[in-house]
Amino acid sequence: MKIKKASAALAVTLVGLGVILCSCSRVNTENADAVPVIMGSTVSVDVYGSDKKENARLKEEAVEEIKRVDLVISKNNEQSELYKINQNSGKENKISDELLDYITETSGIYSVSNGRLSATSGALTELWGVDTEQFRLPEESEIQNALSLCDDSKIKITGEDALNTVFVPEGAIFNLGSVGKGIACDRAARVISQSGDCEGAVVSVGGSVAVLGSHEGSGVWKVGIRDPYGKSSDIFASLSVEECFISTSGNYEKKFEIDGKTYHHILDLKTGYPVENDLCAVTVAAKSGFESDALSTMCYVLGEEESKKILETYEAEAVFIYSDKKLSVTDGLKDKIEISNKDYTLK
């Protein structure tokens, strides 16, 4: 009898423990393994530090912050502030300080591109179906009409602080897609470094990466660059860098074929068509995610020669990846790049 009682008590204890443990660790593991999809991109945040609970908390806060940013700048999310403003073009719209900052910074950084990039590229990207990935080849007249709406000089901002309003001509559409992932990295990085007791962290929003602080006592992080001709997990080279933000723009990410011709998603606002040059992708390392994201797109559109001065202005470094697998690397990255796929060679 005694034994039975003891066994029963033990069984109850074990089941109880099991239930408690399951419920606890389910919460934890879900957070640890979850790969949220925000801004149409997979998001991952990894926080390094001795306090595991604090790491998990910071990770959660960073992911929440990225979700919040999405609700400000997403062009496709019907709940976002930008979406609502886009629905109301041709009228004055109230706008938050935060969104206004993103818009002015975006048209600011693109102002050196001679109109080949803009914060209001939405009319053209929607025409091509880039944002929804339902591509189509537009008529020439449609393209010309759309291009006239992609002009940042027509953005009118009035008021001060909380009373700000923004105006764009009817049909003009803000599109911060080329900087959004970088901005999300910036905001997540800010949350982690402001509130955090951690050693370091990695934030990745759809291939835009922030490496912050250190891990295992080392401040050097290895960031792989995806092989444009390989699978999504293949890299051809890696950069050993200290705290910075890295983004890549390439013609391999979104593309479609019509009548045997391949079109990709990076559009040139001078021609209204996808950029045609001998570049395959450009990777940029910069001091902010906004800059790395914007500059990688700008370098891809403008090409290496025109980009050099702009990169210097922002003290950013770049790897230009050409279609023939030749690489051109700016001085600051020359001793930091390690090429693992020997098909790629320096120019």
Residues that bind other proteins (CB under 8 A): 2-3, 6-7, 10, 13-14, 17-18, 21-22, 25-26, 29, 32-33, 44, 46, 48, 202, 204, 207-209, 211, 215-216, 221-226, 232-233, 235, 246-248, 250, 253, 283
Which residue, 115 or 219, is less far from other proteins as judged by CB?
Answer: 219
Q: Which is it for strands 345-346 and 326-329: parallel, antiparallel or unpaired?
A: parallel
Q: Residue with structure tokens 């880039």?
A: 130
Closer to other proteins by CB, 89 or 283: give it.
283
Burial 78-89 (b: 16+ CB within 10 A, else e): eebbbbebbeeb
C-alpha closest to that of 150 among 178, 169, 134? 169
Taking the least distance from each CB to other proteins, the nearer of 4 and 342 is 4
CB 210 within 8 A of CB 160: no
For residue 215, the minimal CB distance to other proteins (Å) is: 5
Kindly tell me which of 25 and 132 has the beta carbon lying closer to other proteins: 25
Distance in Å, CB of 281 to other proteins, minimum: 8
Which of residues 149 and 282 has its CB atom nearest to other proteins in the complex? 282
H or E segment at 187? helix 177-195
Q: For residue 39, how many other CB atoms are within 10 A of its CB? A: 25
Contact (CB, 8 A) for 74 and 39: yes
Q: Least distance (Å) from other proteins to the CB of residue 332?
A: 16
The minimum distance between CB 122 and other proteins, in angstroms, equals 23
Least separation in angstroms between residue 110's CB and other proteins is: 21
Cα→Cα distances 212→66, 78, 222, Å:
16, 32, 12
